[in-house]
Amino acid sequence: MSELALFLIRIGFVAVLWVFILSLLSVIRADLYGRRVISRIAKQNAPMLTAGSAASLGIDDGDSFDPTEIAVLTGRTAGTNIPLENKKEVLIGRAPSSDMVISDEFASSMHAKLVHVGADWVLQDLNSTNGTNLDGKKITTPVTIRAGMTIRIGTTTFELRS
């Protein structure tokens, strides 16, 4: 075994160790940048919606759209339905404790929520990193969902159906 070969092996081993460690950073990066702590809801997004705050918001109850389930159209869980009966609030996000879990790099752990206000379902973005789209437009304020509207979070799209 020549000196040069041994030297290369010696450098090579330490290099392999470091390549291994650095490759793990791809996992850790998600920890460092992936989740943002939600400190406060952005001003125009306020006030924080809760079920039963219909009167204070002045949201009209004229529409007769009364959805009973969330239908996931695209994304990892495409085809599943989540029933809405007897629910006041549906928390959507990557956190396993969410009511609707979206396993997607583009979803925040607490991404958005649907709140039952009066007879309507209102969508509110919880200051997510990548935003919530309603019919292709990013929402900045709580929006009442009408029949046929499509919500997109990351690569997952879903709609409310009656």
Partner 1 sequence: MSNVSLTQAIPMLLKAVPRSRNFEAVLLFWVAGIHAFALAQIQLAVSQRMSWDMLYYWAPPTISAWIFHYVLRKYVLNADGLLLPLAFLLNGLGIAMIYRLDLAEITRGGQDLFAERQVWLSCFAMLIAAVVVRLVRNPLVLRRFPYLAGAAAVVLLLLPAAPVIGRTFNGATLWIAIGDLSFQPGEIAKILLAIFFAGYLVSRKGPLSEIGSRVLGMKIPSAKDLGPILLFWVASIAVLVIQRDLGTSILYFGLFLVMIYTATGRGFYVGIGLVMMVTGALVASRLFGYVGARFDAWLAPFATENYTAQGGSYQLVQGLFGMAHGDVIGAGLGSGFPQLIPLAESDFIFAALGEELGLAGIFAILAIYLLIVYRGLRIANTHQDDFSKLLALGLSFVLGLQVFIVAGGVMGLLPLTGLTTPFLAAGGSALLANWSIIALLLVLSDSSLKRVKE
Residues near partner 1 (CB under 8 A): 1, 6-7, 9-14, 16-18, 20-21, 24, 27-28, 31, 76-77, 79-83, 96-97, 99, 101, 103
Nearer to partner 1, 74 or 103 (CB): 103
Tell the smallest beta-carbon distance from residue 121 to partner 1 (Å). 16
Tell the smallest beta-carbon distance from residue 144 to partner 1 (Å). 23
Nearer to partner 1, 79 or 136 (CB): 79
SS3 for 102? Answer: coil
Distance CA 35, CA 129 (A): 8
Nearer to partner 1, 12 or 47 (CB): 12
Half-sphere exposure of 145 (CA within 13 A, CB side): 31
Q: Which among 152, 154, 45, 49 is positioned nearest to 108, based on CA atoms?
A: 154
Q: In the chain, helix, strand, coil percent, each to 5?
A: 25, 25, 50
Nearer to partner 1, 80 or 141 (CB): 80
Burial status of residue 31 (CB atoms within 10 A of its CB: 0-12, 13-18, 19 or more): exposed
Tell the smallest beta-carbon distance from residue 53 to partner 1 (Å). 23
Tell the smallest beta-carbon distance from residue 84 to partner 1 (Å). 10
